[in-house]
Amino acid sequence: MSFSRAFADIYDRAHFVIRLRQRATPDTVAYMKGLLPERVHWGALGTGRNEYPIAAQSVLLGGNIRVGLEDNLYLRRGVFATNGQLVERARQFINVLGHEPATSKEARDILGLPAK
């Protein structure tokens, strides 16, 4: 059994990062998703200029996303962002792709976190 399958079987969730050593392409996200069991909740994230292309591919393949200043400082070239701006941009493209972002309650349920 591969490490990714063993990890996913134990935790029922997986998250991977497209880093410099992995080409940040839709094919990379699809390949890495293909290593996981069907029932696992998964997400992918890219850093810097790859943040939104990787997030879009993750959404299209049924995964979750994470965006924020820890991964990307800019709204566009030369313009610093706030976390709120990055999240709003993600919400907009999720809607354009025909999906709905999870509510806070839904996100906590997905991640197995206690209710507030």
Instruction: Please give the structure tokens belonging to residue 64.
Output: 């979750």
Instruction: Collect contacts of 75-82 with beta carbons under 8 A, ≥24 apart.
Output: none
User: Residue written as tokens 């293909």?
Assistant: 34
User: What is residue 12's predicted lDDT score, i.e. its pLDDT?
Assistant: 58
Instruction: Answer whether 0.85 is exceeded by the pTM.
Output: no
Q: Which residue range forms the structural domain that includes residue 78?
A: 3-111
* CATH number for 58: 3.20.20.70
Q: How many domains, in total, are found in the chain?
A: 1
Q: Is residue 14 part of a domain?
A: yes
Q: Is residue 116 part of a domain?
A: no
Q: In this predicted model, what pLDDT tens digit does every residue of 33-86 receive, in sequence order?
A: 888 888 788 888 888 888 889 999 999 999 989 889 988 999 889 999 999 999
Structure tokens at 73: 């400082």
